[in-house]
Homo-oligomer: A and B are copies of this chain.
């Protein structure tokens, strides 16, 4: 249900088309929750059917139309409810650590390569998340600015703080992963 709630979260700011949402998934929420077009469009139709959204056709250019979705009161309620409900934690299922447990079956070079890929992966993410925090701090985040415009200024601090807090968590995790992988490279050296 997280996809639906990610969509609801974005639509609390303003009505959007599927394409708008797609772009926001790529540019902002996507750093925490990815969703491709093939998921978004059907989800929007289903959510409209369920009364969480209301879609209206908007003309686009000469002949074209696009569908703009607005969150309904039921949608807002559902989102608030989800926000107040504790999540289920899925059982652990971690391919990277599963593999690391059997590194004696890999060649040392292949193992090292994979640890370096792990570092590269999280280093890349780190950059992106740090960039998001920079955007938040400098007020350069479009989506956040539009969101702030919809809430009383007494809520601005909270709203900003939680976005920042989220990315800080992702960064801390990435740093832990990088440290672990570096430790693994050292271990491979030692064992050779």
Contacts and interface: CB of A to CB of B under 8 A. Distances in A.
Contact of A105 (B79, B94, B98, B187): B79
Q: Tell me the number of copies of this protein.
A: 2
Nearest to A100: B166
Interface in A117-176: 117, 121, 125, 151, 155, 157-159, 161-163, 165-166, 168-170, 172-173, 175-176
Given A5-B98, A158-B104, A86 B117 contact: yes
Classify the interface of chain A: helix, strand, loop or mixed.
helix
Q: Please tell me the size bucket of the interface on A.
A: 35 or more
A107 to B, nearest CB: 6
Contact of A170 (B6, B84, B97, B102): B97
Given A32-B101, A84-B107, A113-B86, A93 B2 contact: yes
Given A83-B99, A89-B121, A102-B162, 13 more contacts: A5-B99, A6-B98, A34-B93, A83-B103, A86-B114, A87-B117, A98-B166, A100-B162, A103-B158, A104-B155, A161-B187, A169-B184, A173-B176
